[in-house]
Structure 1
Amino acid sequence: MTSTDAQVVQLSPSWSQALRAAVDGEVRFDDGSRAVYAVDSSNYRQPPLAVVAPSSVDDAVAAVAVCARYGVPVVSRGGGTSLAGQTTNAAVVIDWTKYCHRLVSVDVEARTCVVEPGIALDDLNRQLADHDLMYGPKPATHRTCTIGGMIGNNSCGSTAQAYGKTVDNLVRLEILTYDGLRMWVGPTSDQEYAEIVAAGGRRAEIYATLRELRDRHLALIRTRYPTIPRRVSGYNLDSLLPENHFDLACALVGSEGTLVTVLQAELTLVEVPKAKSMVVLGYHDIAAAGDAVPAILPHEPWQLEGLDQVLVQLEKQAGLAHGATKELPRGGGWLMIQFAGADTDEADAKAQGLIEALEGTEHEPQVKFYDDPAKEDELVEVREAGLGATAHPIGQHDNWPGWEDSAVPPERLGDYLRDLRELLTEFGYAEDETSLYGHFGQGCIHCRIPFELRTADGIAHFRAYIERAADLVVSYGGSLSGEHGDGRARGELLPKMFGADVVALFGTVKTLFDPDDRMNPGKVVAPQPLDGQLRLGPAYSHAEPSTYFSYPEDKGRFSTAVLRCVGIGTCRNSVSDEQVMCPSYMVTREEEHSTRGRARLLFEMLRGDVITDGWRSTEVRDALDLCLACKGCKTDCPVNVDMATYKAEFLAHHYRGRLRPRAHYSMGWLPALTRPASLLAPLVNLITGIGPVATGLKRLGGIAPERDLPVFAGQTFASWWRSHRPPPVQATRGPVLLWPDTFTNHFHPGIAQAAVRVLTHAGFEVRVPTRPVCCGLTWVSTGQLGIARRVLGRTLRVLRDEIRAGTPVVGLEPSCTAMFRADGPELLGGDEDMRRLSKQTVTLAELLRQRAPDWQPPQLNVNALVQTHCHQHAIMGNGPDAELLAAAGVHGTDLKAGCCGLAGNFGFEQGHYEVSRAAGERVLLPRLRAADQRSVILADGFSCRTQIEQGDTTRRAVHLAELLAAGLDRTEIGRYPEHAISRRPRRPFGTRRGTSTTTTKGTPPS
């Protein structure tokens, strides 16, 4: 127990009851919530005392009031992406993001807006887009970082080249002091100051004390603050200077929640650039690129970013922005420069002006010019992917923050880069392990380093390096932090940068606002040591569990896998226009329902001091319960966390030797249950169509009462194949094995029949397994991994001859195809036949594009709305599908709806319907209701088609195979043969839709 914990317990045992009584929102003391919020994106860990999700700004005020009454410390938290440890503390964490995320007002003429602190930057800018306005600073975590967090950190990002830091884009703040003073603050004229002081009271005390401090130490404040673009460290006492209008709002920016609680913010907005052009300059190395920066700055770039060869190589290895890295000019270090203009001509002219100015100079580079917005976005992603690429280099040590954002005067950048590289080498950090990249136009360098943070010697080495690096940057007149703030990582080092006398002024300000050190204690003033309370540390120890999956990307260790998350928070995106993950977070806005939150719970489960019951943990089980196992995170997460696999692993251990939920038996054993049911399909369909019977069956099987039971086909595909298989032909392209997955075989056999038609026309000899086979998917998704292994093993024996002959296996159901491509090899690690099968399994589009590139598909000339299955998005991708559709004259529009919400067994399980339906209602179902009735709805996944059919859209979705076969048969689009239409399941007599109940933390917020 920390000293802060002890103080709270001694003060009063009733403070928790008082907090619950005062707050209308959510107040949590459970171990699961404390574990989820124990870390941010930094090296540090401190489990909080409680977590509060206030329902409104006023609710947060009530929470702080209770904390003040009992002397309980408080820390505000935005997106939780801090790299310096600002948002970890033994305190009450206020998480603003679930409810307090409103855009309160917009003044288009004045170009200002008022927001609540929990609004994410991208969400804000989406809402401002109709006014052609945006908030200027844009950190790499723009999808999920919040305005409150940006104010706390004084965040910057790449666009700070044009717009400056958060402190430069602020009008006013509404703040709350720990002792209850609530007020708006901003620039203060002499007249306003006099009126405030004359009114007396606490507000007058704050203003008068700050004015006196400023006047007494004018020279100190003016001379000790580096005059560089990226000084983020320390309190902004320079904002109190007369020439800065005694701006208390700006003085509080970057104070990391140590002085006040920010309730609302009035922001300055800028016009969205009408056009942008990009120039990429290649240099011999990254230091030479740094040398060129001063010659580029007079051209007023909109962004000026730098990246080195190490970063590019790491991104190639990790498969991040791979296509864009090929676009770089020759070199070992690059400057990525964007220019903005009123139109393309103006932006292009600025870019060409720079190119011409550099010709023949000592800084003449290799040059590539771009004015294609899509290409530019890809190149920007190269830079923004830096943190993910450098965190877990393949085959190397993990890299950590700690010295990741130092900043120097841009005119001295090249020399600083050389000295920094020399220091890294001196401490044994090899050049190929540490990338130097960042916001070069403002002299800010990002770097993750392979610190050893689990041994006493390693931690001592870590401290020694940080202290030397601090001395180095100060010798250049730079800042310890140029973007991420001080937090735990650099607070202890502030005397090196500012001197003891200025740091003493920080203490005076802290005492004025927070005399008892209850606001995020241990940061900035009286800071905790930079090598204390590490997330790992020399005491970190746990038994490595034996696992079912092999975790080949994580050295075969589950403990390494759950440390893969570095907290970037991309999984906390509230929209799905760019990614599939994380559908449950998009619905609930709950940290524990994000991929990041679940990864942290699994880490805490292994650590064992907050979550103490290991695999039996109900906290971990409940957090994973709403994981849809969509696998979106496997691709969308910058560090490729695979929560679907971790969930299956956990469920296998959690229920080992115990009774499972009923849905694990009904849905997990679905392949086995469908075989006898299909033999009596008409009778089964008749029985399940009787309302009371259907209700009873759903209750018995743990199936959501709101769901319609799927209708069995009158004849399975396997049965049809035995009697209708095409006669042997001279196949020009050789044999293929068509995989008869459970869903296609028993429910939608017309899809497989259509695939036979297409494959035969394309010149393939179609084969189908002669014995029942299964990929084991449903057993994996329900965590019955021992059975899944046996099922897969049997399938490999059945297919052995085809596998060893190299016959391609064509999957029609994306989730089953992904099972062979990804989960199977990890579940049967080392099995050579499984490895071969994973290499030979292809989608229909992959086969036709790769093995029959000269095949001419039928010309359909239709519009199609495409719902990409989440497993296809994560494992196979849909590039070949898009190519094939284009070749067939299909004008395909990707719905970009993310996961449909049904996700295999998830949407059928009791207690999941509300979240499942809400996920579908976010984008997919509304888009389909509004779609042109003449457009084809294309969805290869059984889950996607079922969600569409049961989603009150009146639409039917078809498979790619059906669409192509209809063209081959010259069938009018929309008039498919009966077997090719996915019929809308009828509602059993006597049933009606109801509402399911979920826990508070699983309920979508209003």
Structure 2
Amino acid sequence: MTRSTVDIAGLDVARLETALREAVDAEVRFDAGSRGAYATDGSNYRQVPIGVVVPRSVEAGAQAVQVCARFGVPLLSRGGGTSLAGQSTNTAVMIDWSKYCHRLVSVDPDARTCVVEPGIVLDVLNRRLSDHRLQFGPKPSTHSHCALGGMIGNNSCGSSAQAYGKTVDNVRRLEVLTYDGTRMWVGPTSQAERARIAAEGGRRAELYDGLDRIVTEYLADIRRGYPKIPRRVSGYNLDSLLPESGFDVARALVGSEGTLVTVLHAELDLVPVPAYQSLLVLGYDDICAAADDVTHLLAHCNPGQLEALDGRMAQLMREEGAYLESLDALPEGDSWLMLQFGGDSQEEVDEQAHALLRAVGRTEKDATVAFSDDPEREQRMLRAREAGLGVTARPPDDRETWEGWEDSAVPPERLGDYLRDLRKLFEEFDYDHPSLYGHFGQGCVHTRIPFGLKTAEGVAHFRRFLERAADLVASYGGSLSGEHGDGQSRGELLTRMFGERLVTAFGELKVLFDPDNRMNPGKIVHPNPVDGQLRLGPAWRPQTPATHFGFPDDDHSFNRAVMRCVGIGNCRGHSGGVMCPSYRATMEEEHSTRGRARLLFEMLDGHADSAVKDGWRSTEVHDALDLCLACKGCKSDCPTGVDMATLKAEFLSHHYEGRLRPAAHYSMGWLPVWARLSRLAPRLLNSALHAPVLARAGKRLAGVAEARSAPVFAEQSFLQWWQARDLDEADPADPHTVVLWPDTFSTYFHPSIAVSAVRVLEDAGFRVAVPTKPVCCGLTWISTGQLPLAQKVLRRTLDVLRPYLEAGTPIIGLEPSCTAVFRSDAPELMPADQDVQRLAGQVRTFAEHLVHHAPEGWQPPQLARQATVQTHCHQHAIMKFDADRELMRRAHLDTEILDEGCCGLAGNFGFERGHHEVSMAVAEQGVLPAVRGAAPDSLVLADGFSCRTQIEQGATGRRALHLAEVLALGLDGTLPAEHPERLAQRPDQPSRTARWATTTAAAVTATAAAAAVGRTVVRVLRRP
């Protein structure tokens, strides 16, 4: 990484960087790429950090603070970086605790406490506590990736706060470090303890004396000025220092957003995991009516959660085709309240819900009531509520919505009236119809508003709205923030809520702990203006590059596609789903979907201080994208649908335009060409590819990782097998005709899959047609960013397929990645081509066609077997897996469908030199251990070529089969009882002897093949 030579306000940045490298056991990064990746969080604000320090231990983090203090440089601690008020962006040295400082230091199950380091993620903590049947109570919607240090900094809450309160209510003690080097454990402090501290003297005594002075001077203001509501997060927690609160210094520091101290360790209170839960959902005519009913419901019950969801969010979900299962589980209504009950028995939790229904005059049979004590169904319904931020951030109507007034809170008994007045304010400012949802049991309202943050007029409008909204919530005795904190979004507005005296007290607390204003300056106290340092703003002037992809879902704009990322950070999750495999392997922000999106945003060069200056040629962006597996998991699992695979392909196309590409782009990017040429002498070619000396040399030339074994070419390709059948050509207009797509992988490597698919389709009554002229979906050219060539390949394919496209003939894909190209990539690459649109509508997966279009009465063979199933990432993202589940159910397969993420091979990624270590790290995080742990007599299924290859090469001792192969074996009744995937030999696989043979003939053939390849490449490139 290059070192920065930029001076910041006279700071010798190079000396600071050197000092940090020499003194701190940490990854010290002052390069443009790292600074760009950390320039913003989940908020409207952007400040490029001076540098980033990733300490390898808590002690190293403390040492980094000491070095920064020596240089007098601003400092900011960061966990998951999901803050919505701008707390975790600043022109400072940023300490990222999340990569290494995530230990669960100790657990005391009897006392129900634990000690943690600041970087531990909430879900990870709770998994580690699960053996004790304990958990940390507060649960924000970002629970899969938010760090405890960030939760402490922001005083996070979440839906479970109804039962367990905010983070401040669950912190027992903190180990903190002040900027000037005072390190101490703090917590509730008795008079005797305070006397002991005073007697010891020193900086700690000075701090406690100052705290005592502030509380004494502002005692009446604190007691009167803090709203008596459950969801007050704004301001410093001076109320925790009141005598009746036990002079709790730890709780006073919770929610201080890194502006007072650095948190090194936290001792937390834990709560039992409820043994049983049930969920009651009540429907209402509108969200205000639902809010009116909250206190009535709370008078009759004590739920663990009382959440709200309005009709606007439900409408957005339907328009986006998201969370439809969740919506289907909801009762009638245009808005809903969700009440969750917990207890020690199913009867107890069921009775809580039924007692409430009796008290309010409803029954379970009412159309506006849904009740469930099935955990799976409960989670489906709650997912609709948890999805709020992602669903409302990028509505389908192309408006962009923003934070700024997304978590205000009022007394629950006044909530309905507050919402009506808030709606009037929306109308006055012409902010049409934002969704209203949130934690209504505690009066907290979430929303995202279509502020106009790209023009001077829109920003001025934004500021006036926030001032009016602050006055409105203060008039209701509420809080500017009920969950996300003040940061920059609300810091300037605190006087409107607390008054001058208390804001002055906040300033005195800041001076006491941080007299030189070096801890996260510009937040809460002496805040930057709410309309300053905006990520966009009227001065934002990004480039508007011409692109190959059409980005039809983003107003045909690369910029809008990049800006889909609003910083939610789901890509930093540690388990479940698909994204983001490279982050899970590296724990690096710049190798998360969000980090890459941030660097692409910086690449647009819309700000004078943009960290990335070289546009498409940027090495920083290239390095960040290099470890993107292009798995497309983000397209489905990111709440706002960021498609990093497409953005990567677009970037690579421009990055290498007119330049020599990496060798892998020619070897694996042109794989379909080389596969066709393999027909010259497949057996000898395999021998050459696996001969020790030739293989090593070939891998070096081809840019392939030395640890990888080349896939074996079949001796007889599927097309050769098909042509040998010598059948009459199927009529495209025949309703029983289907086209079986001869993808490169099922044709030249595993033709038994395509042969099996023909057998099953014919058994189901279909006439199979196969294009005999060369066709290709262009996948390998797309994934390596050779987009003009990919378009040329697709046009040639469309010419071959035209009779079938015009006849509406179904086209059956066997390889998920190729099928996904036709469904998604091709329409985006050639959005104006009607044949491409027809193709997208006619292509089906093997399972989709058999489940939805097989003749009535046809049934697959009854296999009665267990199966471990790995879903291809592209199928997960684009086609989904519902039809496959149903087909396997009909075939009586007892399936365990893995939720272990990407296999790690991801097409060419895992074969490329420099990627093998990450590829295997991804695989070892879930897929490979799951396959090794599968029962010996179970099937292992994986429809994707990459997944099958990774399983075979990953020391699992298993070979995965395609679903078509399993069904075909079932038709024959030849499925072995044990290790069925370890067939004596696939029909398309040569013997081991042939694979490893080393002969002079192999070398001669390889040389001849290389010459033929060269001639073919020249011919292809010369074609129009």
TM range (shorter): over 0.9
Q: Which amino acid aligns with 2:599?
A: L
Q: Distance in 2 between matches of 1:164 and 1:617?
A: 46
**Superposed displacement of residue 589, structure 1:** 0.3
Task: Report if aligned partners of 1:950, 1:984 keep a CA contact under 8 Å in 2.
Answer: no
**Superposed displacement of residue 689, structure 1:** 2.4
**Superposed displacement of residue 611, structure 1:** 0.5
Which deviates further from its counterpart, 975-984 or 216-225? 975-984
After the TM superposition, which residues 369-768 of structure 1 pair with which residues of structure 2 at under 5 Å, given as runs? Answer: 369-431=371-433, 434-575=434-575, 577=576, 579-607=577-605, 609-724=610-725, 734-768=736-770
Which deviates further from its counterpart, 778-787 or 294-303? 294-303
Deviations 1:513-541 (A, max 9, x none): 00000000011111110000100011111
In structure 1, the partner of 2:821 is 819
Which deviates further from its counterpart, 677-686 or 798-807? 677-686
In structure 2, the partner of 1:1002 is none
Does 2:308 match 1:306? yes
Does 2:243 match 1:236? no
In structure 1, the partner of 2:912 is 909
Task: Report if aligned partners of 1:407, 1:480 keep a CA contact under 8 Å in 2.
Answer: yes
Of 931, 936, 956, which aligns to 2:934? 931
In structure 2, the partner of 1:246 is 247
**Superposed displacement of residue 366, structure 1:** 2.5
In structure 2, the partner of 1:1004 is none
Q: Which amino acid aligns with 1:301?
A: P
Does 2:120 match 1:122? no
Q: Distance in 2 between matches of 1:419 and 1:249?
A: 37
In structure 1, the partner of 2:986 is 979
Of 958, 962, 979, which aligns to 1:959? 962
Q: Distance in 2 between matches of 1:657 and 1:491?
A: 50
Deviations 1:80-110 (A, max 9, x none): 1111000110000111111011111111111
**Superposed displacement of residue 457, structure 1:** 0.8
Task: Report if aligned partners of 1:281, 1:365 keep a CA contact under 8 Å in 2.
Answer: no
Q: Distance in 2 between matches of 1:430 and 1:897?
A: 41
- The alpha-carbon distance between structure 1 residues 955 and 854, as it changes in their structure 2 partners (threshold 3 A), is same
Q: Distance in 2 between matches of 1:972 and 1:781?
A: 36
In structure 2, the partner of 1:1000 is none
Which deviates further from its counterpart, 264-273 or 851-860? 851-860
Q: Secondary structure at the match of 1:276?
A: strand
Task: Report if aligned partners of 2:488, 2:523 keep a CA contact under 8 Å in 1.
Answer: yes
Q: Which runs of 5+ in 1 are unaligned?
A: 991-1006
After the TM superposition, which residues 329-344 of structure 1 pair with which residues of structure 2 at under 5 Å, given as runs? Answer: 329-344=331-346
- The alpha-carbon distance between structure 1 residues 11 and 948, as it changes in their structure 2 partners (threshold 3 A), is closer
Q: Distance in 1 between matches of 2:116 and 2:416?
A: 40
Deviations 1:531-568 (A, max 9, x none): 00100011111231111111111000000000000111
In structure 2, the partner of 1:60 is 61
Query: What is the count of residue pairs matched by the alignment?
Result: 980
Deviations 1:366-407 (A, max 9, x none): 222122211110111100111111111112411100000000
- The alpha-carbon distance between structure 1 residues 69 and 245, as it changes in their structure 2 partners (threshold 3 A), is same
Q: Distance in 1 between matches of 2:509 and 2:362?
A: 53
Identity among equivalent pairs (%): 61
Task: Report if aligned partners of 1:754, 1:980 keep a CA contact under 8 Å in 2.
Answer: no
In structure 2, the partner of 1:947 is 950
In structure 2, the partner of 1:993 is none
- The alpha-carbon distance between structure 1 residues 750 and 192, as it changes in their structure 2 partners (threshold 3 A), is same
**Moved >3 Å (runs of 4+):** 5-8, 10-13, 725-733, 975-990
**Superposed displacement of residue 10, structure 1:** 4.2
Does 2:352 match 1:350? yes
Q: Secondary structure at the match of 1:508?
A: helix
Q: Distance in 1 between matches of 2:614 and 2:604?
A: 9
Q: Distance in 1 between matches of 2:795 and 2:205?
A: 77
- The alpha-carbon distance between structure 1 residues 401 and 304, as it changes in their structure 2 partners (threshold 3 A), is same
Does 2:967 match 1:969? no
Q: Distance in 2 between matches of 1:988 and 1:625?
A: 32
Q: Which amino acid aligns with 2:238?
A: L
In structure 2, the partner of 1:810 is 812
Deviations 1:901-959 (A, max 9, x none): 00000000000000001111111111222222111100111100100111111111100
Task: Report if aligned partners of 2:543, 2:605 keep a CA contact under 8 Å in 1.
Answer: no
- The alpha-carbon distance between structure 1 residues 13 and 551, as it changes in their structure 2 partners (threshold 3 A), is closer
Q: Which amino acid aligns with 1:702?
A: G
Task: Report if aligned partners of 2:730, 2:737 keep a CA contact under 8 Å in 1.
Answer: no
**Superposed displacement of residue 728, structure 1:** 8.3
Task: Report if aligned partners of 1:177, 1:513 keep a CA contact under 8 Å in 2.
Answer: yes
Q: Which amino acid aligns with 2:934?
A: A
Q: Secondary structure at the match of 2:52?
A: strand
Q: Secondary structure at the match of 1:866?
A: strand
Task: Report if aligned partners of 1:708, 1:985 keep a CA contact under 8 Å in 2.
Answer: no
Q: Which amino acid aligns with 1:160?
A: A
- The alpha-carbon distance between structure 1 residues 985 and 329, as it changes in their structure 2 partners (threshold 3 A), is farther
- The alpha-carbon distance between structure 1 residues 982 and 313, as it changes in their structure 2 partners (threshold 3 A), is farther
**Superposed displacement of residue 23, structure 1:** 1.3
Task: Report if aligned partners of 1:240, 1:246 keep a CA contact under 8 Å in 2.
Answer: yes
Q: Distance in 1 between matches of 2:313 and 2:326?
A: 13
Which deviates further from its counterpart, 208-217 or 117-126? 208-217
In structure 2, the partner of 1:255 is 256
Deviations 1:609-630 (A, max 9, x none): 2211000000000000000000
Q: Which amino acid aligns with 1:588?
A: T
In structure 1, the partner of 2:192 is 191
Q: What is the TM-score of this pair, normalised by structure 2?
A: 0.94
Q: Distance in 2 between matches of 1:815 and 1:706?
A: 24
Q: Secondary structure at the match of 2:762?
A: helix
Q: Secondary structure at the match of 2:888?
A: helix
Q: Secondary structure at the match of 2:695?
A: helix
Q: Distance in 2 between matches of 1:931 and 1:570?
A: 29
- The alpha-carbon distance between structure 1 residues 270 and 984, as it changes in their structure 2 partners (threshold 3 A), is farther
Deviations 1:329-373 (A, max 9, x none): 222221111111112111110001111111179xx9922212221
Q: Secondary structure at the match of 2:120?
A: coil
**Superposed displacement of residue 607, structure 1:** 2.2
Q: Distance in 1 between matches of 2:965 and 2:857?
A: 21
In structure 1, the partner of 2:886 is 883
- The alpha-carbon distance between structure 1 residues 816 and 509, as it changes in their structure 2 partners (threshold 3 A), is same
Q: Distance in 1 between matches of 2:11 and 2:955?
A: 57
- The alpha-carbon distance between structure 1 residues 649 and 213, as it changes in their structure 2 partners (threshold 3 A), is same
Q: Distance in 2 between matches of 1:311 and 1:289?
A: 15
Q: Distance in 2 between matches of 1:353 and 1:340?
A: 14
Q: Which amino acid aligns with 1:438?
A: G
Which deviates further from its counterpart, 106-115 or 11-20? 11-20
Task: Report if aligned partners of 1:27, 1:52 keep a CA contact under 8 Å in 2.
Answer: yes
**Superposed displacement of residue 328, structure 1:** 1.9
Q: Which amino acid aligns with 1:567?
A: G
**Superposed displacement of residue 980, structure 1:** 5.0
RMSD: 1.7
**Superposed displacement of residue 7, structure 1:** 6.1
- The alpha-carbon distance between structure 1 residues 790 and 727, as it changes in their structure 2 partners (threshold 3 A), is closer
Deviations 1:180-207 (A, max 9, x none): 1111100011111111110000001101
Q: Distance in 1 between matches of 2:990 and 2:473?
A: 68
Q: Distance in 2 between matches of 1:428 and 1:932?
A: 61
Q: Which amino acid aligns with 1:524?
A: I
Q: Distance in 2 between matches of 1:13 and 1:592?
A: 22
**Superposed displacement of residue 875, structure 1:** 0.5
Q: Which amino acid aligns with 1:453?
A: L
Task: Report if aligned partners of 1:324, 1:378 keep a CA contact under 8 Å in 2.
Answer: yes
Task: Report if aligned partners of 1:507, 1:525 keep a CA contact under 8 Å in 2.
Answer: yes
Q: Secondary structure at the match of 1:615?
A: helix
- The alpha-carbon distance between structure 1 residues 892 and 7, as it changes in their structure 2 partners (threshold 3 A), is closer
Q: Distance in 2 between matches of 1:123 and 1:303?
A: 22
